[in-house]
């Protein structure tokens, strides 16, 4: 049962080959026995789930989604043991659609990180090589799916936090168009970038899960209806599809040769399937990382102000006065990367610096969106490697935040432009998975999923052995 | 000779809007309920919760803008105002910054700078004897108020005295009350006022250094506070010391002004556009809906009463400021429209007998008051008698004419009876009669008094005077 994809499992339950209870118990056992530190909480028993089309296939959920009565800590000690009184819209929708909550997965603290080493509850290990990181920030979700302790998982992507760990763990991760999935109940990192999405074993599962996530939510003013019904992909060919490749951006020195080789091989397969590969330019992509590391911390500095010790979570030294309570609570509760970004963001929004940093970064963001609009006149989808490198060693980059930030080089432009992009495994380099990123215009998820599916069939990537 | 100083005052007024629910969530507005019963993940600032704008609050904001003659933004944006305080659960207030709902405008003699919408903070309760933060044992938070929609109205610095500030704020209050957008109750905090105050040598065009006087919670305290601050600034300047830019607190019990924070301690609010909300496009439909609900406002009504009905300024203002009086006045005029000023006077008389009550809810029918005014203008009764009739109407209702007849309050006209009474009075007050004949009309008092006593006040004073002169051959 564990080798089945989520879709296959749902079908098996639908046929009566296996019961939803048996499926849940099997995964519950595996999740409880997880030794990658992928889970921060595992369900004791099967929760009641809706009789929806997902047939009871259990779902692992990133810690930052609020789940009523269940720890929701966003990987932070400042929220240790916090159990919210309400459930995030997307988790509720999926439960109603028949995907009960299996467990809460580890993540970088407040989704800030690309290695999961910033978790307040310890790093997650990559099931391909336990000395390596799973990527981040949705590292727990990616590791759980790759290791087969969950059929599928929910993650969130702000600058690459679904796609990069999916790439490093050899699974599929979809970052949807901004606004197509409700953010209500997601503990915010950067509101204008955060977006929930699926981490799955294959493209079909990503389409199936996403199909039940989309929809406007009156509780999230930035959400909207997806203009298309999300369909399960079926294309075997890519005839007529123009895939744009930003060659200038790919020339970055930090891109590993093995990653480039797997990427080029995948482009060659795309051509074999009938696609045309064309060069495109994203002239402002060079500035994407800088703009992102102003905008995201600026929003985070404000979003994280609520963790003040007054109402929930950690509280320190309330007897010593208000300022002592604030400073000691936040000093002890936040990890170093979170503090770094709060400081950067506070600075960027300060009187006298706003125009030079936040204002400028927003201009860059607009230019990048324009770059994509221009590119999509020349091509239908844009392809890059998901991550410039394969999974790196635990501890390798913790003292070098800039090297860590470079991991999101190819994912961030899509995030800034609010565009959808998927990462699929496209091969191995040094025995570790390489991700192939395929992005498109807003609301082009169906087209992306179709193309990714055709490539997936052609690549025939062998996932990690999860049987048992 | 000492310099004369001119105060320059601008006001910032926070008005709680009377919507059913809060600015960004579905919790009901309340006052006086047990603490923390009207809360939800949104107004408690729980992790993951998101705001959704209350359309009714936008509607009320547009009504205020229309009433003040403001320019209404076609697109309005919310910003985050970041600062830490326990009454602010998110660590930021959702407010507006450079794209407010309304810009410019005027009310009375004061120009409006802008009107924007925001959410109210929660309420801190300081536990301890003083009830204030200093010396309290602990502070606890009641989030019932947190998230209440506020309109912040900012004036231009057009006010020149404490009295003018008080009067203008009263005009704003009656205007907002007639709009129906707020309870505008200062004691309950639904109307709150801060004042920016500076002084300069009279005749100067330059602005002096301003101070901000916070949260004066009654009209009296506003006047006292501003007066005290003007005096404090004058004393500083006369002593050759500078006014320091700071935020101040006025304590009405002691009359003392204390510093809350200096300019250096001022917050850097790090405003940036609220990414959890999309900009609000103000459509023609929204504007039409707001326009349809803006009634005639006190300033316009006062002007109409003065120019079209010829009321004197006091009457026009009194009626216009209290919409229930104005409406009653107009329903009396519908019955007897020939003498608006007389009707206004008698509505005022009636209002004085009803305390703060609505005359429409009293026993005095508009038709009855119209009839009373008619009896007076026909000289069928005297003013004194009319007051007695009004007392009866207030107590029991009924028809003035019937009351006059039943009580024998009808005026004694110019007939034989009155002439005879005047003759009697002259005979009984011979001294006075002599003085009148000698040219001293002021001596007529005792004679009139005699007649009034004999007629129980039903005689017309003018007619009595005429008869006295006639009988004395003047």
Contact check, Cβ <8 Å, B52/A191:
no
CA distance B121 to B177: 23
Secondary structure, 3-state, chain B: CCCCEEEEEEEEEEEECCCCECCCCCCECCCCCCCCCCCCCCCCCCCCCCCCCCHHHHHHHHHHHHHCCCEECCEECEEEEECCCCCCCCCEEEEECCCCCEECCEECCEEEEEEEEEECCCEEEEECCCCCCCCCCEEEEECCCCCCEEEEEEECCCECCHHHHHHHHHHHHHHHHHHCCCCCCCCCCCEEEEEEEEEEECCCCCCCCCEEEEEECCHHHHHHHHHHHHHHHHHHHHCCCCCCCEEEEEECCCCEEEEEEECCCCCCCCCEECCCCCCEECCHHHHHHHHHCCCCCHHHHHHHHHHCCCCCHHHHHHHHHCHHHHHHHHHHHHHCCCCHHHHHHHHHHHHHHCCCCCHHHCCCCHHHHHHHHHHHHCCCCCHHHHHHHHHHHHHHCCCHHHHHHHHCCCCECCCHHHHHHHHHHHHHCHHHHHHHHCCCHHHHHHHHHHHHHHHCCCECHHHHHHHHHHHCCC
| Mean per-residue pLDDT, A219-238 | 97
Alpha carbon B183 to its chain centroid, in Å, reads 12
By Cβ distance, the residue of B47, B268, B278 closest to A84 is B47
Exactly one of A74, A114, A115, A137 is catalytic; name it: A137
Residues of chain A contacting residue B276, judged by C-beta atoms under 8 Å apart: 188, 191, 220-222
A62 is catalytic: yes
By Cβ distance, the residue of B50, B92, B268 closest to A220 is B50
Residue A186's DSSP bridge partners are: A65
ipTM reported for the complex, 2 dp: 0.96
pLDDT, tens only, A274-315: 999 999 999 999 999 999 999 999 999 999 999 999 999 999
Q: Which residue has the tokens 């969950």?
A: A150
CA distance A390 to A128: 11
Chain B closest-CA separation from residue A69 CA (Å) = 14
Residues of chain A contacting residue B45, judged by C-beta atoms under 8 Å apart: 306, 311
What pLDDT shows up at residue B452?
84
Q: Under 8 Å CB-to-CB from A129, ≥6 apart: which residues? A: A391, A431, A432
pLDDT, tens only, A115-138: 999 999 999 999 999 999 999 999
Q: Under 8 Å CB-to-CB from A313, ≥6 apart: which residues? A: A78, A79, A80, A82, A307, A333
pLDDT, tens only, B24-61: 999 999 988 999 999 999 999 999 999 999 999 999 99
Q: Which helix (H) or strand (E) holds A140?
A: helix A139-147
Between 3.40.50, 1.10.10, 1.10.3470, 3.40.190, what CATH number should domain B416-471 receive? 1.10.10
By Cβ distance, the residue of B52, B268, B270 closest to A221 is B52
Band of the pLDDT at B1, cuts 50, 70, 90? very low
User: What domain range includes position A333?
Assistant: 285-361
pLDDT, tens only, A333-378: 999 999 999 999 999 999 999 999 999 999 999 999 999 999 999 9
What pLDDT shows up at residue A429?
97
Contact check, Cβ <8 Å, B270/A222:
no
Strand order in the sheet with B92-96: B92-96, B78-82, B272-273
| Mean per-residue pLDDT, A225-232 | 98
Chain A closest-CA separation from residue B368 CA (Å) = 55
pLDDT, tens only, B203-245: 899 999 999 999 788 999 999 999 999 999 999 999 999 999 9
Percent composition of chain A: helix, strand, coil (DSSP 3-state, to 5)? 40, 15, 45
Peptide bond between residue A137 and the one before it cis (omega within 30 degrees of 0): yes
**What torsion, rounded to 10 degrees, do the Cα atoms A283, A286, A291, A294 define?**
-170
| Burial B392-405, CB ≥16 within 10 A → b, else e | bbbeeebbbbebbe
Instruction: Quote the mean pLDDT of chain B.
Output: 91
Q: Under 8 Å CB-to-CB from B356, ≥6 apart: which residues? A: none
- B95 has pLDDT over 60: yes
Q: Would residue A116 count as lying in a domain?
A: no
**Which is more confident, B418 or B87?**
B87
Residues of chain B contacting residue A305, judged by C-beta atoms under 8 Å apart: 82, 84, 90-92
Handedness of CA B72, B77, B81, B86 (dihedral sign): positive
The answer, for B454 touching chain A at a CB cutoff of 8 Å, is: no
The answer, for A351 touching chain B at a CB cutoff of 8 Å, is: yes
Considering its fold, how many domains does chain A have in total? 1
The answer, for B127 touching chain A at a CB cutoff of 8 Å, is: no
**What torsion, rounded to 10 degrees, do the Cα atoms A318, A320, A323, A325 define?**
-30
The answer, for B52 touching chain A at a CB cutoff of 8 Å, is: yes
Chain A closest-CA separation from residue B73 CA (Å) = 20
- A15 has pLDDT over 70: yes
Residue B95's DSSP bridge partners are: B79
**Which is more confident, A432 or B324?**
A432
pLDDT, tens only, A34-47: 999 999 999 998 88
What pLDDT shows up at residue B413?
65
Q: Which of residues 233-252 of A touch B (CB under 8 A)?
A: none
CA distance B250 to B220: 12
Chain B closest-CA separation from residue A305 CA (Å) = 5
By Cβ distance, the residue of B47, B52, B268 closest to A218 is B52
A-B Cβ pairs (cutoff 8 Å, strict):
103
Handedness of CA A368, A373, A377, A383 (dihedral sign): positive
A245-254, B22-31, B111-120: which range is least confident on average? A245-254
Residues of chain B contacting residue A297, judged by C-beta atoms under 8 Å apart: none
Alpha carbon A171 to its chain centroid, in Å, reads 12
Q: Which residue of B has its CA nearest to A305?
A: B91
Nearest partner of A60 among A168, A138, A116, judged by Cα: A138
Contact check, Cβ <8 Å, A187/B47:
yes
| Mean per-residue pLDDT, B161-179 | 95
pLDDT, tens only, A318-334: 889 899 999 999 999 99
Q: Which helix (H) or strand (E) holds A116?
A: none
Contact check, Cβ <8 Å, B50/A183:
yes
CA distance B124 to B144: 11
By Cβ distance, the residue of A184, A218, A346 closest to B48 is A184
**What torsion, rounded to 10 degrees, do the Cα atoms B42, A156, A40, A327 define?**
-50
- A468 has pLDDT over 50: no
Q: Which residue of A has its CA nearest to B92?
A: A302
Domain ranges for chain B: 5-290, 296-407, 416-471
Alpha carbon B25 to its chain centroid, in Å, reads 31
A7 is catalytic: no
A195 in Cβ contact with A156 (< 8 Å): yes
Which pTM does this prediction carry? 0.88
pLDDT, tens only, B372-412: 999 988 888 888 889 989 999 999 999 999 998 888 787 77
Chain B closest-CA separation from residue A172 CA (Å) = 26
Residues of chain A contacting residue B271, judged by C-beta atoms under 8 Å apart: 349, 354
B337 in Cβ contact with B209 (< 8 Å): no
A196 in Cβ contact with A187 (< 8 Å): no
Nearest partner of B58 among B273, B276, B275, B289, judged by Cα: B289
Strand order in the sheet with A421-429: A39-42, A101-105, A59-62, A152-157, A195-200, A172-175, A421-429, A432-439, A381-385, A242-245, A276-279
Residues of chain B contacting residue A222, judged by C-beta atoms under 8 Å apart: 275-278
pLDDT above 90 as % of chain B = 68
The answer, for B346 touching chain A at a CB cutoff of 8 Å, is: no
CA distance A439 to B57: 40
The answer, for B18 touching chain A at a CB cutoff of 8 Å, is: no
| Mean per-residue pLDDT, A380-405 | 94
Contact check, Cβ <8 Å, A84/B41:
yes
The answer, for B264 touching chain A at a CB cutoff of 8 Å, is: no
Band of the pLDDT at B130, cuts 50, 70, 90? low
The answer, for A288 touching chain B at a CB cutoff of 8 Å, is: no
A137 is catalytic: yes
Q: Would residue A305 count as lying in a domain?
A: yes
Instruction: Quote the mean pLDDT of chain A.
Output: 96
Residues of chain A contacting residue B46, judged by C-beta atoms under 8 Å apart: 66, 84-86, 311-312
By three-state DSSP, how is residue A158 classified?
coil
Nearest partner of A383 among A259, A252, A263, judged by Cα: A263
Give Rg (Cα) of chain B. Answer: 30
> Given the DSSP bridges, would you call strands B138-142 and B123-127 parallel, antiparallel or unpaired?
antiparallel
Question: DSSP string spanning A223-268?
Answer: ----SS----------TTPEEEE-HHHHT-TTS-HHHHHHHHHHHH
CA distance A420 to A438: 9
CA distance B193 to B108: 18
User: End-to-end distance of chain B based on CA atoms, in angstroms?
Assistant: 58
- B415 has pLDDT over 70: no
By Cβ distance, the residue of A66, A220, A302 closest to B82 is A302
């Amino acid at each position: 049962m564990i080798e089945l994809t989520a879709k296959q499992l749902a079908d098996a339950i639908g046929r009566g080959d296996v019961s939803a209870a048996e499926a849940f118990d099997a995964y519950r056992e595996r999740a409880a026995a997880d030794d990658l530190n992928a889970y921060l909480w595992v369900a004791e028993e099967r929760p009641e789930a809706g009789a929806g089309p997902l047939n009871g296939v259990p779902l692992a959920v990133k810690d930052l989604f609020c789940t009523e009565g269940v720890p929701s800590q966003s990987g932070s000690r400042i929220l240790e043991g916090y159990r919210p009184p309400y459930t995030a819209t997307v988790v509720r929708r999926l439960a109603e659609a028949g995907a009960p909550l299996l467990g809460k997965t580890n993540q970088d603290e407040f989704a800030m990180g690309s290695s999961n080493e910033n978790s307040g509850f310890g790093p997650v290990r990559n099931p391909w090589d336990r000395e390596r990181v799973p990527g981040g920030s949705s590292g727990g979700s990616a590791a759980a799916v790759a290791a087969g302790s969950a059929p599928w998982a929910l993650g969130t992507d702000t600058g690459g936090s679904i796609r990069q760990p999916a790439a490093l763990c050899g699974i599929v991760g979809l970052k949807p168009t901004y606004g197509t999935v409700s953010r209500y109940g997601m503990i915010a990192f950067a509101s204008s970038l955060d977006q929930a999405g699926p981490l799955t074993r294959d493209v079909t599962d990503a389409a199936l899960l996403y199909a039940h996530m989309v929809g406007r939510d009156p509780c999230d003013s930035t959400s909207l209806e997806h203009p298309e019904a999300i369909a399960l992909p079926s294309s075997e060919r890519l005839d007529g599809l123009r895939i744009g490749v930003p060659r200038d951006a790919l020339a970055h020195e930090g891109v590993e040769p093995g990653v480039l080789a797997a990427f080029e091989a995948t482009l060659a397969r795309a051509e074999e399937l009938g696609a045309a590969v064309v060069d495109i330019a994203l002239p402002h992509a060079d500035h994407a990382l800088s703009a992102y590391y102003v905008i995201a911390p600026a929003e985070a500095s404000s979003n994280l102000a609520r963790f003040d010790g007054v109402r929930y979570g950690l509280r320190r030294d309330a007897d010593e006065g208000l300022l002592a309570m604030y400073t000691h609570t936040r000093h002890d509760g936040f990890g170093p990367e979170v503090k770094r970004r709060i400081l950067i963001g506070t600075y960027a929004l300060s009187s006298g610096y706003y125009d030079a940093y936040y204002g400028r970064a927003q201009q860059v963001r607009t230019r990048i969106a324009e770059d994509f609009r221009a590119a999509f006149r020349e091509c239908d989808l844009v392809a890059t490697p998901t991550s410039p490198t394969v999974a790196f060693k635990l501890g390798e980059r913790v003292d070098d935040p800039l090297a860590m930030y470079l991991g999101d080089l190819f994912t961030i432009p899509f995030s800034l432009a609010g565009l959808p992009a998927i990462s699929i495994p496209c091969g191995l380099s040094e025995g570790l998975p390489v991700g192939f990123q395929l992005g498109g215009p807003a609301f082009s998820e169906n087209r992306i999923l179709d193309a990714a599916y055709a490539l997936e069939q052609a690549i025939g990537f062998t996932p990690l052995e999860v049987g048992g | 000779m000492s310099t004369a100083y001119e105060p320059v005052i601008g006001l910032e007024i926070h008005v709680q809007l009377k919507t059913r629910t809060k600015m960004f969530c579905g919790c009901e507005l309340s006052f006086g309920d047990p603490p923390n019963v009207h809360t939800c993940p949104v107004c408690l600032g729980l992790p993951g919760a998101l705001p959704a704008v209350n359309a009714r609050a936008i509607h009320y904001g547009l009504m205020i803008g229309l009433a003040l003659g403001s320019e209404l933004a076609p697109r309005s944006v919310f910003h985050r105002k970041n600062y830490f305080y326990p009454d602010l659960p998110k660590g930021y207030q959702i407010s507006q910054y450079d794209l407010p709902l309304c810009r410019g405008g005027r009310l009375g003699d004061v120009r409006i700078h802008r009107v924007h919408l925001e959410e109210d903070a929660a309420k801190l309760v300081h536990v301890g004897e003083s009830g204030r933060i200093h010396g309290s044992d602990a502070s606890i938070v009641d989030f019932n108020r947190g998230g209440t929609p506020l309109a912040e109205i900012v004036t231009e610095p057009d006010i020149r005295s404490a009295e003018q500030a008080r009067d203008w704020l009263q005009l704003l209050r009656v205007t907002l009350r007639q709009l129906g957008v707020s309870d505008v109750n200062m004691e309950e905090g639904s109307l709150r006022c801060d004042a920016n105050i500076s002084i300069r040598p009279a005749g100067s065009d330059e602005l002096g250094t301003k101070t901000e006087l916070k949260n004066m919670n009654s009209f009296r305290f506003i006047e006292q506070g501003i007066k005290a601050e003007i005096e404090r600034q004058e004393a500083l300047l006369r002593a050759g010391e500078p006014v320091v830019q700071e935020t101040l607190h006025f304590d009405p019990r002691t009359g003392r002004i204390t510093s809350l924070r200096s300019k250096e301690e001022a917050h850097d609010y790090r405003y940036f556009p609220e990414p959890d909300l999309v900009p609000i496009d103000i459509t023609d439909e929204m504007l039409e809906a707001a326009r349809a609900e803006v009634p005639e406002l006190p300033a316009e009504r006062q002007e109409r009463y003065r120019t079209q009905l010829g009321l004197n300024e006091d009457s026009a203002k009194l009626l216009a400021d209290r919409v229930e009086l104005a409406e009653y006045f107009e329903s009396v005029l519908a019955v007897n429209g020939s003498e608006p000023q007389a009707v206004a006077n008698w509505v005022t008389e009636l209002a004085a007998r009803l305390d703060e009550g609505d005359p429409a809810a009293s026993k005095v029918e508009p038709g009855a008051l119209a009839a009373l005014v008619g009896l007076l203008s026909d000289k069928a009764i005297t003013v004194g008698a009319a007051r007695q009739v009004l007392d009866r109407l207030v107590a029991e209702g009924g028809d003035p004419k019937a009351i006059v007849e039943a009580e024998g309050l009808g005026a004694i006209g110019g007939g034989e009876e009155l002439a005879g009474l005047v003759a009697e009075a002259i005979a009984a007050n011979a001294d006075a009669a002599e003085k009148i004949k000698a040219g001293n009309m002021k001596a007529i008092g005792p004679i009139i008094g005699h007649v009034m006593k004999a007629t129980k006040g039903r005689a017309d004073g003018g007619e009595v005077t005429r008869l006295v002169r006639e009988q004395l051959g003047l």
